[in-house]
Amino acid sequence: MTQQRLDFTQASPDAVKAMYALEAAIAKLGVEHSLLELIRLRASQINGCAFCVDMHTSDARKAGETERRLYAVSVWRETPFFTVRERAVLAWTEALTLLPQSQAPDDVYAALAQQLTPAEMVNVTLAIGSINTWNRLAVGFRKMPE
């Protein structure tokens, strides 16, 4: 098993405090909690963040998400379990998480713009950026699930 490299929460508590403040702000932007958890789970799967996948599947369950949908997040395109809105957000999450490869394609943006208001698009994008930062902290410093 991989060993934790360092505890980033202890190494730079002010940085982590700023991340928590960002999370608190994101929670107040009006994006459905269930959608935020789908964003967090999908980005964490792509980034290979075991700690965040574990945490966000647990958080999603507590928020009422079904096991069936949780198991299908990584293959959301091949299932009928997600709404058009959720699909647009999952595609945007993948495009921004894989930004060097995807360059946020126009068709993915257009699908998102059909489902979300401009403010929601910004708010979802901020949530995607935030989870990608958490993933980089957790993967980079090898934070392990308990």
- 108-141 burial by CB neighbour count: b if 16+ within 10 A, else e? beebbeebbeeebbebbbebbebbbebbebbbee
Within-domain flag for 3: no
Residue 23 has pLDDT above 80, yes or no: yes
Tell me how far apart the alpha carbons of residues 86 and 35 are, in angstroms, rounded to a whole number.
Answer: 7
Within-domain flag for 8: no
- Number of structural domains (the chain) is 1
What's residue 59's pLDDT? 95
Q: What is the pLDDT of residues 24-64, one digit of tens each?
A: 999 999 999 999 999 999 999 999 999 999 999 999 999 99
Share of the chain above pLDDT 70, in %: 99
Residue 82 has pLDDT above 80, yes or no: yes
Within-domain flag for 2: no
Which ranges of 28-103 would DSSP assign to H, the alpha helix? 33-47, 50-62, 67-72, 84-97, 99-102
What's residue 90's pLDDT? 98
Amino acid (1-letter code) at residue 32: E
Calculate the average pLDDT of the chain.
Answer: 97
CATH label of the domain that carries residue 109: 1.20.1290.10
Range of the structural domain that residue 130 is part of: 13-141
Within-domain flag for 1: no
Average pLDDT over residues 90-111: 98
Within-domain flag for 132: yes
